Amino acid sequence: MKGFSRRQFLQASGSIVAIPAATSLLFSGCSLQRGTLKIAHNAQLTSWDPTTGLSSLDSAAQPFYESVFDSFISQYPDLSLRPGMVTDWGWNNDRSKIHLSLRKNAFWHDGAPVTPEDVVWSLERAGSLTGNNPMQFIWSKINNFSISGNTVIADVKEYEPVIFKWMANLTGYILPRKAYTSIGAEAWEKNPIGSGPYMVNKFERNRFIHLKAFPQYWGPKPDFERVIIKMLPDAMDRVAELDNGDCDLAVHVPYDEFNRLTISSKWEGQAYPVADIGMIFITNKEATMKDKNIRFAMHHAINKQRLIDELLVGFGRPINSLQVPGYDAYDPSIEIDFDPERARSYLSKSGYSKLKPVKLTIQTTQGYRPKDYEMIKMIVGMWKEVGIEANIEIYNSTEHLKLRAQHKLSLIHI
């Protein structure tokens, strides 16, 4: 089913911890003939505008958006681009202009056709300084739009080599100009209209989403006529849904529970490394975090393989960079080894040790992702061994997005 096959996202370590495994469990008796799929999901949705505000940057919410809306351009599983709402795209010879050709057989959920005017309005809105799109600095690099038949042409104000990749990424969704502007942002949240394979039938913020298949969808017919999503940020709540038979599919199941449940013939499990990474984001608010010796020490004090073996029970791979194999910027020469003595040496250069430790705060969710809190707790223990004392604060994913927008994050893990 489109939208729920998207690669899942786990942010766990500025220091890179691992490529985690995405886990999901499907009821073995789940059949297309049943018509309804019930999902226990970890994400919480705060807005039905996929192009503005905090939710637009929440990677875990993207499967919801992808089920209701279309990106300008689509992607294959290997991240290469493929036709979506836009069937042809490219540059002119000197790369001073781009063109986007819109497919002709697409409709909005209210029955109106998708038009080039919708494409122009969506891109102008995305690039507006007052539009609240967090990727505005990308979209504002194209302007002076014109329409020729079913093709949109735009000037390139500032060259952006990956502009088409962004059209298949966060905030790169096309919205209906007439439907949105006629009802306004507040009413839109109660009645969002997309062009994707599913329509929103019922929605209660941060609790559930009911979707139904859109009969005029331009692409392949969705596998299920109805989809019911329960938004359960606590991992054990999702496990309870499985144990009680109240869902057909659960995502981001704790790894030990995954092993327990897959022993039974009742459930079919999938666990595989995903093309996203676990990160600890280091802010520059505090002077200590601007000290590269402290940052290097934090890196070298983390035993990634131990985290994988003990907490992820083998469901992960250690990595060393912000990119993974398959991404254009992946550099296999980058290596950051586990070396506590080297970490202590870096700290000593800045006057710190176990007797005079660096003190900081790290924020994490608890249960939003499998073993999120436990991973941070183990990392804090590793840091303590070299001379870094970290106080752990627990928050939820919504609080993280708000703090990030306000630039009030400590060291963070989500």
- In-domain check, residue 66: yes
Q: For residue 318, give the CATH number of its domain.
A: 3.10.105.10
On whether both 312 and 223 belong to a single domain, the answer is: no
On whether both 96 and 199 belong to a single domain, the answer is: yes
On whether both 211 and 292 belong to a single domain, the answer is: no
21 pLDDT above the threshold of 60: no
Q: What are phi and psi of 413, to 5 degrees?
A: -135, 135
Domain around 198: 43-231
List Cα–Cα distances, 58 to 55, 285, 367, 405, in angstroms.
5, 23, 17, 12
Mean confidence (pLDDT) of the chain: 86
CA distance 154 to 330: 31
List Cα–Cα distances, 165 to 71, 82, 281, 322, in angstroms.
11, 10, 24, 18
- In-domain check, residue 35: no
On whether both 53 and 120 belong to a single domain, the answer is: yes
Query: For residue range 282-297, what is the model confidence (pLDDT) as tens digits?
Result: 776 778 888 999 999 9
- In-domain check, residue 261: no
- In-domain check, residue 238: no
On whether both 204 and 339 belong to a single domain, the answer is: no
- In-domain check, residue 171: yes
Name the domain boundary from 231, 265, 298.
Answer: 231
On whether both 62 and 202 belong to a single domain, the answer is: yes
On whether both 199 and 296 belong to a single domain, the answer is: no
Query: For residue range 179-218, what is the model confidence (pLDDT) as tens digits?
Result: 999 999 999 999 999 999 999 999 998 899 999 999 999 9
Give the pLDDT band (50/70/90) at residue 407.
low
- In-domain check, residue 393: yes
- In-domain check, residue 383: yes
- In-domain check, residue 237: no
On whether both 343 and 285 belong to a single domain, the answer is: yes
Query: For residue range 222-272, what is the model confidence (pLDDT) as tens digits?
Result: 989 999 999 998 889 999 998 888 998 888 888 888 888 888 778 888 776
**In this predicted model, which residue has the larger pLDDT, 61 or 115?**
115
Name the domain boundary from 199, 231, 263.
Answer: 231
Query: For residue range 116-159, what is the model confidence (pLDDT) as tens digits?
Result: 999 999 999 999 998 889 999 999 999 999 999 999 999 999 99
On whether both 109 and 184 belong to a single domain, the answer is: yes
Structurally, the chain folds into a number of domains equal to 2
On whether both 304 and 379 belong to a single domain, the answer is: yes
